[in-house]
Structure 1
Amino acid sequence: MTRAIVPASAFPAGHPGRDLLTARTPFLASRSDQRFSYALQLPSTYADDSDPLHVLVAVHGTGRRAERYLDAFADFGEQHGVAVLAPFFPAGISDPNDVHNYKFIAYDDIRFDLVLLAMLDEAATRWNLAVDRFALHGFSGGGQFSHRFLYLHPDRLSAVSIGAPGRVTLPDRNETWWKGVGDIEERFGLAWRPDVVASVPTQLVIGALDDRAQDLATVEPDGNGATRRQRLDRLAEHLRGIGCEPLVTVVPDVAHDAMGVLPVVRDFLAARVVSSLPERRPPAGS
């Protein structure tokens, strides 16, 4: 039996269901594929009858500590009136030893880009959110997912922040996925649109001390460098080649640390996303 999603607006103020579904939500199984789940951090200004909130999606790394992104962006969301959505993509889907599945978008019969888009649609059914375009941040494994998602769905992104990916996909038509984008039409059924990719405000961020070649010892050489910094520079070079102007941010005294780069990520998002949003209409009766 399929049950409909009950929107937050169905619960009056003070109802336990209202409390559960506003501020920090529980992780909810995605209706499209219950192997995956997501949670949100909603600002205190959230209202059912105001203009929809813009959404920031923050994608976890290999360690799957998704909830800490809700903590880390809680003040940002509160200050700027933005909802933060954190998806959770478990390790060990089909292969019990696999930890990389979501990073490459397609894994076995799973399309993780479509899983995320379904989560956003579900969230917009339950909460008053604008999900046609959203901001995206990911670090390490999340950085791998984020720049590949950019290539496939640039029209859905208001901005993207890509943090220290260990393996990069270049916007290169001479290489096939995942090293390049030469076959994305056949593989994903989506057109390669370099002009749209180039139009998305893009940050490439890494710690200045994130330069240990041994950290990538288990990752196959890909010709883009021996360290994350070298690979990020290579990605920046190729993005410039399609007309993109990425902001490359190297954070002093920070190694491979997702939380260590977040201050400059928040600054980027505030400058590129929040400043461009229209002023929100207050709730009725306020």
Structure 2
Amino acid sequence: MNKSYHLLKKGILYTLSVCSLFTVAGYVYLYVLPKGPAITTTSKIKNGKDAFVMYAYTTTKRKSIKIWTYKPERWKDNDQIVFIMHGGGRNAEDYLDAWVEIAQKNNLLLLAPEFANTFAKYTTNDYQEGNLFTFFGTPNPKEEWAYSVIENTFDHIKATHKISNEQYAIFGHSAGGQFVHRMMLLMPEARISIGIAANAGFYSFPNEQLEFPYGLKNTEAKLQEAYNKKLVVLLGALDNDPALGTFRTTAQAMQQGQHRLERGSTFFNANKELSASHRWNFNWELDTIPNVGHDYKKMSLQAAKWLTPQS
């Protein structure tokens, strides 16, 4: 009996030691060791397609990020700047390419940050959930939220290229749509003129009793300020097939709807009803596109109509 007890105790201690070792090693790898490509020399954004690498945060050099760019020849200071947020594939260059013709036609300076992560299939907290919390659930400082990277990038190009624009537009599809709507909820002070969240897989509902990322518990959401911002919830009428792309099927996600189209509509209506109950201003729009499914290229074309209503 004693021998069995000691073996069991030894096995438990060994398991706990291994788990602790993996936890510490994982934390160090994810949050202590430097991450990202080599920083590039600061220079003017070239006409056409280009890219540069900058430090993601202003408080530490621990993480760098690549920013893909496209600049039409006729673009000049105070012409429109648009951030393009990629989906879960972290394929920023593909998303940039989908917008090149749109940028040429409407004279838009495009910035497409690449939130690269080797473990993107297993963790979403660093990108579409805003990096509010580590993989282990501990809070990150606001200066290291993913949303702060967008503001930092805007400051970077303003400072290094003598750009005087005071605002920027932002579009995201799928995981990028998650990123955009959460940025609007959690950082309404960001200098966004209009945000377009397209075909998000699931949403952070305006419920402060529901755990983030499904709700807003333990976050710094400022709903009244967020409703004053211009947000377009852009949906594809045919984005009703859960088999397309990566689709979250947890119990909390499924309560939002059976597919992306239903979830987007439910999210928009929940916020509209809440703002009405408080008699708050509500500056959001719902736009459902006929005959389009989970297609970032076609959704980008519709998004352009919101950015440039005259086109």
Q: TM-score, normalised by structure 1?
A: 0.77
- C-alpha displacement of 1:247: 2.4
CA contact (8 A) 2:87 2:175 kept: yes
CA contact (8 A) 2:211 2:217 kept: yes
Q: Which of 165, 172, 187 matches 1:153?
A: 187
- C-alpha displacement of 1:4: 10
Change (3 A) 1:174 1:130: farther
CA contact (8 A) 1:105 1:149 kept: yes
Secondary structure of the residue aligned to 1:136 is strand
Secondary structure of the residue aligned to 1:206 is strand
CA contact (8 A) 1:204 1:247 kept: yes
Change (3 A) 1:214 1:23: closer
How far apart, in 2, do the equivalents of 1:253 and 1:46 lie? 33
CA contact (8 A) 1:171 1:238 kept: yes
Verify: 1:115 aligned to 2:145, yes or no: no
- C-alpha displacement of 1:254: 1.8
How far apart, in 2, do the equivalents of 1:75 and 1:214 lie? 30
Amino acid at match of 1:203: V
Secondary structure of the residue aligned to 1:85 is strand
RMSD of aligned Cα (Å) = 2.7
How far apart, in 1, do the equivalents of 2:209 and 2:165 lie? 33
* Cross-structure match for 1:78: 104
Secondary structure of the residue aligned to 1:64 is coil
- By relative contact order (CA 8 Å, sep 6+), the higher-ranking structure is 1
Change (3 A) 1:97 1:245: closer
The one-character-per-residue Cα deviations of 1:85-135 (angstroms, maximum 9, x if unpaired) are 10000122xx57535230100152552112222222222223243454211
Amino acid at match of 2:78: P
Q: Which of 297, 300, 304 matches 1:259?
A: 297
- C-alpha displacement of 1:162: 0.7
Q: Which of 218, 225, 231 matches 1:196?
A: 225
Secondary structure of the residue aligned to 1:166 is coil
Unaligned runs of 5+ in 2: 1-38, 135-139, 276-280
* Cross-structure match for 1:26: 51
Amino acid at match of 1:220: T
- C-alpha displacement of 1:151: 0.9
Change (3 A) 1:184 1:54: same
Amino acid at match of 1:83: L
How far apart, in 2, do the equivalents of 1:4 and 1:207 lie? 38
* Cross-structure match for 1:269: 307
Q: Which of 68, 77, 81 matches 1:55?
A: 81
Secondary structure of the residue aligned to 1:210 is coil
